Chain A
């Protein structure tokens, strides 16, 4: 199982907790996914409000690790402050660092991302950066102290699946020893299988499960798909060929005319 900053996790599926129709649906999806890590966020609380407390209690009851995010942050300062506030609440050094650079595509601001990663690493955080498949940015993130990389495969919530297979393949080849998690853009279990077949260590997804007609069943489907892709990568797959190759031996075949 993959090691993230020295912590071994029990599942290659990391699951987001947003957009479920109810806390009960979320809880069942988490159980059926067999995930070990869920992502959470921080938002403004209302005076006298208990919403945050109820959600926090649910997460604690599920017995999973928490990966807080800086979702929605558009500047380094915002993201760094959100990370510090998340550490004070969730009592973990892990942070999924998002610095959003483009409103329509939610593409990360990779310049701010590198700067934020450097600041947070210096403050003892263990940064999981939401990035693109750009190899130079990846290199800078590693130089900034990241020991995990989380490239998108398509825009957040788009369900488009892998848009740049060559880019994902190149990233895996370039950083063979860095844990790589595909974060964002997965729509179907087959997408997850595809990136796992490339040798990725894990997949982080949310909308593909939360938005399904039956989120718990979809969570289980993703768990199986990710296991299948991982096993296939380890087993060594055939390369595609242009011509047919008979699977049944031709030697000893009867001649009737």
Chain B
């Protein structure tokens, strides 16, 4: 399955968003996720099924003004 993660294409096998994060070693309670421009809350990641061509954003806290 081909996914775009933070703007880069990846070939991965993951049923859900939670599985994908684990596979790619995205860890920590500070991450925010979105799939195809829609927020996926922390608690929903285990239920969020992924499909080929999905666009995923994984963000984390950063310095800001």
Contact = CB atoms under 8 A, between A and B. Distances in A.
Contact of A47 (B25, B30, B33, B42): B25
A78 to B, nearest CB: 9
A41 B62 CA distance: 5
B21 to A, nearest CB: 9
Contacts of B24: 47-48
Contacts of A89: 30-32, 59-61
Contacts of B60: 42-45, 49, 51-53, 55-56, 89
Interface in A22-57: 26, 39-53, 55-56
Main DSSP-derived SS at the A contact region: mixed
Contact of A48 (B26, B37, B38, B59): B26
Nearest to B25: A48
B64 to A, nearest CB: 3
B63 A53 contact: no
Contacts of A56: 30, 60-61
A194 interface: no
Interface stretch (A11-19, A110-118, A232-240): A11-19
Contacts of A52: 28, 30-31, 59-62
Contacts, number: 111
A90 B61 contact: yes
Interface stretch (A80-88, A131-139, A142-150): A80-88
B39 A19 contact: no
Contacts of B59: 42-45, 52, 82, 85, 89
A79 to B, nearest CB: 12
A68 B32 CA distance: 13
Given A43-B59, A85-B32, A17 B26 contact: no
Nearest to A89: B32
A206 interface: yes
B62 A88 contact: no
A85 B61 contact: no
Interface string B24-65: 111110111110011101100000000000000111111111
Contacts of A43: 59-60, 62
Interface of A: 16-20, 26, 39-53, 55-56, 59, 68-69, 71, 77, 81-82, 84-86, 88-90, 156-157, 206-207
5 contacts: A40-B63, A40-B64, A47-B25, A47-B26, A55-B63
* Minimum-distance CB pairs A-B, first 3: A52-B60, A41-B64, A16-B65
Interface of B: 5-7, 24-28, 30-34, 37-39, 41-42, 57-65
